[in-house]
Amino acid sequence: MRRAIFPGSFDPITMGHVDIIKRSLPLFDELIIAIGVNSTKKHMFSLEQRKVFIEATFADKPKIKVDTYSGLTVDYCQSIDAKFIVRGLRNPADFEFEKTITQVNRRLSDIETVFLLTSSETSFISSSIVREVIQFDGDYSSMVPKALHL
């Protein structure tokens, strides 16, 4: 079985994430959206809210599972027998950041990272931008899945 994870904080999940997730589905038998737990980071949405948003967004996709984890991503991959990590790239800065993480992960394990470029329609969207739009009561509805239309 080709099992992959798509790790992130998903605070909140955006249409950019949704784009990458949907486009990665044909590549794997199972995709686990893995919400990383980082107790030092202040989140807008609780871990449980983020999990509910993601589960509601992909309720009709049986190949997708949602889980939480803490610690090293490669350790989590090994614990669930995932051989691939999926990452989305919006711009050259994302690539440089992700390249470094991928090289470290390769030193620690044999898990492969698969990069997908975001579509031009979603490449400008980031969770931090969405949080700011929400904070200032802007219209964020086109940037997030319907499960987040609060």
Out of 90, 119, 126, 131, the active site residue is: 90
Q: Which bin fits 93, alpha (ψ -120 to 50), beta or left (φ > 0)?
A: alpha
Out of 39, 41, 42, 146, the active site residue is: 41
Domain containing residue 86: 3-148
Looking at residue 91, its pLDDT comes to 87
End-to-end CA, the chain: 37
Looking at residue 41, its pLDDT comes to 79
Out of 24, 50, 87, 127, the active site residue is: 127
Looking at residue 109, its pLDDT comes to 96
Give residue-wise pLDDT tens across range 28-49: 999 999 999 977 778 999 999 9
**Is 61 designated active site?**
no
Give residue-wise pLDDT tens across range 96-115: 999 999 999 999 999 999 99
Residue 150 scores a pLDDT above 80: no
The DSSP letter of residue 119 is P
For residue 6, which of 66, 81, 90 has the smallest C-alpha distance? 66
Number of domains in the chain: 1
**Is 146 designated active site?**
no
Distance CA 24, CA 3 (A): 11
Looking at residue 40, its pLDDT comes to 77
For 51, 83, 115, 139, the CA distances from 34, given in Å and listed in that order, are: 9, 14, 16, 27
Out of 17, 24, 50, 87, the active site residue is: 17
**Is 90 designated active site?**
yes
Residue 142 sits in a domain whose CATH number is 3.40.50.620
**Is 149 designated active site?**
no
